[in-house]
Chains A and B, each alone.
Chain A
């Protein structure tokens, strides 16, 4: 793993963070509303504001400065890893995020695990079956999973499994059982993405010559699929780590609200409605940083898992000196499983998922 490659990827990551910061800063700035008035007028009922006091608070949050200065001050603070304090709650932004993170992580991890299991089962079953109607039905499931509104699914699950049959608590993060329904709700769109991508790449792997060879030498379909085709097909699914993470985070906004769970999604939602600028920016930066990190890790892991890429990189770097990213692209284009196609597929699934 060359250091140069790592450095360039880190630089790219920082660029993404800077763009996320800048974009969210100006977006929040141009939203109608005044955070200080919002903070003072939190009661909503008519209240008078002492102009001197408003001015003092505006100065406290640097809101009295011209826009470019505000931007530079905010950027400088972030560079020094100072994310400020939440306007609404008065706690440091880092503390607020740290407090909200564990329940969201637990939820996302469980949902991803579930989604992976369900996604694999659907894709494998759809590939294996010889009955066209079953294959078509299974292949249509991911579309349905993505189309079902998370909000609605959550409320239905609550109606049945909490209100009618009191199997799980409806509210909160208190007991271990409380995580089950939210995780299932969040897992549905995630498993749909996984199943769809996996099904496509399994179909691709299925028509590879090595499959025919193995088949000819007496392997059963199931064994062949699980032992030979699935590992190959799972690789492109790995590249979706970032996409799945983004989907899980977006889904948590809805799921955490429906299930009254504390967490990052809930925090983001209240911060946006309360125009808590430092907190919103903290969350945006945090999400962007994790996104960058997840993508970096998948890209670094990829060649380790796929021997063809490892060999290609060695050969490529010794002759050209181009970065691995380009090499990987080229390699993917020639690799049997056609990950480029899968990536395009995953991108289109994301846009569908975004609507849910």
Chain B
């Protein structure tokens, strides 16, 4: 589960004053605290050393370095080092903690959010970070429109931004928007200097960005490397960081190494310090050599099959329910990484509002067959069920690296469901999904907040099931936007997840976890709450 190669250290920094009584995430935090551990037995007392360049081997080119625009992991991992956020989310307890905002107040209806900013924060070009910077950044994100792939959902319904003084900024939404507080902790709502905002989105993509973060962009060459250098004046780390002042590392160098075996060989031979994407067959080798494995499930919606009610087969509730019952999730463990887990809900364990719903996801092939029999789907000569001359067969197109789907295919064949798999490029799959003609889609959505359910399945949002009208599910999801009480939110998101499974709107399969290999010389390699890395505390020892 939450395995981080560094000692999972408790928050040591002084807790800052907060006007807002922080809602403690009871259920979720207890669960997570219970499952965190450390992959490497490291000396807890080791003193961090300054200096050195951390070499990270990426699998794909980020194409664009601007995290306000791009939503890919490869981009956001870089952006996290360049920009800071108003708040930070503790990856252990999931609590929202102070960062560039020392404190905040939220109105009871969750429509008005006031942040009190820290003094003395500067951009890497020497200009001051003030409430005006917050205002112009968030307005710029709104102006980006669809190009701000994540930011636009976070700022949905933002009516006005007031800046009564240099240290205070107030956001007013036209409807309740509880998810906004967590959103302020993401790098998608990070800050750039005025000069950067004056540039075109395309220029910013090329790495022409100046933030307030502990590292600044030195160079970005497509398909080659991204070089970051330490920002020496940095002195405003998040309240959950383990040290103060500038970062330990002199710099970070991401190189783009598309071949998995080359990344692995480079890590083993010490040519790079971090392999961003370890193949499951290489995990054993790395561990045998005493190298670290870092892994944390992506919070949010797990890898799941999402039936579209517009489909001829998927509109049949019995079929959808049979799909939920027809998958043996425990068996899937044999084909996925040992650091990855089968789904136990629609939400991944690392999501704050997660609750274990594995009872609803038990393997029950007989139950599935019964459902299909009763609905009139009778086994044909080839074992595939047929109803009114129509075969229980559909094609799933996907682009993800998801070899476990082949086992799912075999399992579903047992109950007479013929799932044809077609792996295509991202371009082809997204375009096909935009057309909306398929019966099933496959995907996930990363976000360290349960609001991801509303975003993915809500009838007024992305409406993954292509439902025609509002139902109880939407009422429950709407209710979650108006309270910041985590107990209430967790209860409601769990209700929503139960409905999603009962109705067969979501067929959860496995959690998504990136598996990262780290060299023996790498210490305190950390994940933040949305499972992207945070390298401010990371340090290298002299040995290789």
**Which of A's residues lie within 8 Å of B, judged by CB?**
31-35, 37-38, 40-50, 53-54, 57, 85, 88-91, 96, 99-100, 155, 158-159, 162-164, 166, 169-174, 256-263, 266-267, 270, 273-275
**Minimum Cβ distance to chain B for residue A50 (Å):** 5
Q: Quick check: B153 and A44 within 8 Å, CB to CB?
A: no
Within 8 A of A (CB), among B378-413: 399-400
What are 19 A-B contacts with C-beta separation under 8 Å? A32-B431, A32-B432, A40-B147, A42-B70, A42-B71, A42-B426, A46-B301, A48-B153, A53-B146, A57-B146, A85-B202, A89-B63, A91-B202, A163-B265, A163-B268, A163-B269, A170-B265, A257-B259, A260-B256
**Minimum Cβ distance to chain B for residue A352 (Å):** 25
Alpha-carbon separation in the docked complex, A169 to B257 (Å): 12
| Binary contact track B421-443/A, C-beta < 8 Å → 1, others 0 | 00011111011101000000101
- Which listed residue, A32, A44, A172, touches B255 by the CB 8 Å rule? A172
- Which listed residue, A155, A262, A275, touches B223 by the CB 8 Å rule? A262
Alpha-carbon separation in the docked complex, A47 to B400 (Å): 15
Further pairs besides A33-B430, A41-B426: 9, Cβ < 8 Å: A46-B301, A46-B444, A46-B464, A50-B152, A155-B261, A159-B265, A170-B262, A173-B224, A262-B223
Closest 3 CB pairs of A and B: A90-B202, A53-B146, A43-B71
B271 within 8 Å of A (CB atoms): yes
Closest to A40 in B: B146
- Which listed residue, A31, A260, A262, touches B221 by the CB 8 Å rule? A262
Q: Quick check: B462 and A162 within 8 Å, CB to CB?
A: no
B222 within 8 Å of A (CB atoms): yes
A257 / chain B contacts, CB cutoff of 8 Å: 258-259
A33 in contact with B272 given A50-B145, A85-B202, A99-B222 (CB within 8 Å): no
Q: Quick check: B434 and A260 within 8 Å, CB to CB?
A: no
B337 within 8 Å of A (CB atoms): no
A258 / chain B contacts, CB cutoff of 8 Å: 259, 262
A47 in contact with B462 given A88-B63, A99-B221, A170-B271 (CB within 8 Å): yes
B167 within 8 Å of A (CB atoms): no
A100 / chain B contacts, CB cutoff of 8 Å: 222-223
Alpha-carbon separation in the docked complex, A54 to B225 (Å): 31
Alpha-carbon separation in the docked complex, A89 to B414 (Å): 46
- Which listed residue, B146, B400, B446, B464, touches A49 by the CB 8 Å rule? B146
B259 / chain A contacts, CB cutoff of 8 Å: 155, 257-258, 260
Alpha-carbon separation in the docked complex, A268 to B427 (Å): 16
- Which listed residue, A32, A96, A164, A171, touches B271 by the CB 8 Å rule? A171
Q: Quick check: B71 and A50 within 8 Å, CB to CB?
A: no
Alpha-carbon separation in the docked complex, A260 to B253 (Å): 14
Alpha-carbon separation in the docked complex, A6 to B446 (Å): 60
**Minimum Cβ distance to chain B for residue A154 (Å):** 9
Alpha-carbon separation in the docked complex, A47 to B272 (Å): 33
Q: Quick check: A170 and B269 within 8 Å, CB to CB?
A: yes
Q: Quick check: A90 and B201 within 8 Å, CB to CB?
A: yes
B257 / chain A contacts, CB cutoff of 8 Å: 171, 260
B445 within 8 Å of A (CB atoms): yes
| Binary contact track B454-475/A, C-beta < 8 Å → 1, others 0 | 0110000110100000000000
A31 / chain B contacts, CB cutoff of 8 Å: 428
B266 / chain A contacts, CB cutoff of 8 Å: 162-163, 170-171
Alpha-carbon separation in the docked complex, A50 to B225 (Å): 33
Q: Quick check: B262 and A42 within 8 Å, CB to CB?
A: no
Closest to B206 in A: A91
| Binary contact track B291-304/A, C-beta < 8 Å → 1, others 0 | 00000000001000
B90 within 8 Å of A (CB atoms): no
Q: Quick check: A260 and B462 within 8 Å, CB to CB?
A: no
Alpha-carbon separation in the docked complex, A266 to B256 (Å): 11
**Interface of B, helix, strand, loop or mixed by DSSP:** mixed
A169 in contact with B271 given A42-B72, A46-B464, A258-B259 (CB within 8 Å): yes
Q: Quick check: B430 and A270 within 8 Å, CB to CB?
A: no
A90 / chain B contacts, CB cutoff of 8 Å: 64, 200-203, 205-206
Q: Quick check: A262 and B222 within 8 Å, CB to CB?
A: yes
Q: Quick check: A38 and B71 within 8 Å, CB to CB?
A: no
- Which listed residue, B225, B269, B301, B424, touches A162 by the CB 8 Å rule? B269
| Binary contact track B22-34/A, C-beta < 8 Å → 1, others 0 | 0000000000000
* Residue of B153, B269, B444, B464 with most partner-chain A CB within 10 A: B269
Alpha-carbon separation in the docked complex, A267 to B430 (Å): 22
Closest to A103 in B: B224
Alpha-carbon separation in the docked complex, A130 to B249 (Å): 64
B540 within 8 Å of A (CB atoms): no
A99 / chain B contacts, CB cutoff of 8 Å: 221-222
B149 / chain A contacts, CB cutoff of 8 Å: 40-43, 47
- Which listed residue, A35, A48, A173, touches B427 by the CB 8 Å rule? A35
Alpha-carbon separation in the docked complex, A164 to B80 (Å): 35
Within 8 A of A (CB), among B259-299: 259, 261-262, 265-266, 268-269, 271-272
Alpha-carbon separation in the docked complex, A163 to B424 (Å): 33
**Minimum Cβ distance to chain A for residue B65 (Å):** 10
A50 / chain B contacts, CB cutoff of 8 Å: 145-146, 152
Closest to B256 in A: A260
B57 within 8 Å of A (CB atoms): yes
- Which listed residue, A33, A49, A162, A259, touches B425 by the CB 8 Å rule? A33
A44 in contact with B147 given A89-B205, A260-B256 (CB within 8 Å): no
**Minimum Cβ distance to chain B for residue A181 (Å):** 11
Q: Quick check: A45 and B145 within 8 Å, CB to CB?
A: no
Q: Quick check: A48 and B72 within 8 Å, CB to CB?
A: no
A89 / chain B contacts, CB cutoff of 8 Å: 63-64, 202, 205-206, 222
Q: Quick check: B224 and A38 within 8 Å, CB to CB?
A: no
- Which listed residue, B147, B256, B268, B430, touches A37 by the CB 8 Å rule? B430
B63 / chain A contacts, CB cutoff of 8 Å: 42, 88-89, 270, 274
**Minimum Cβ distance to chain A for residue B413 (Å):** 27
B431 / chain A contacts, CB cutoff of 8 Å: 32-34, 37-38
**Minimum Cβ distance to chain A for residue B227 (Å):** 11
Q: Quick check: B262 and A260 within 8 Å, CB to CB?
A: yes
Q: Quick check: B256 and A32 within 8 Å, CB to CB?
A: no
Closest to B147 in A: A40
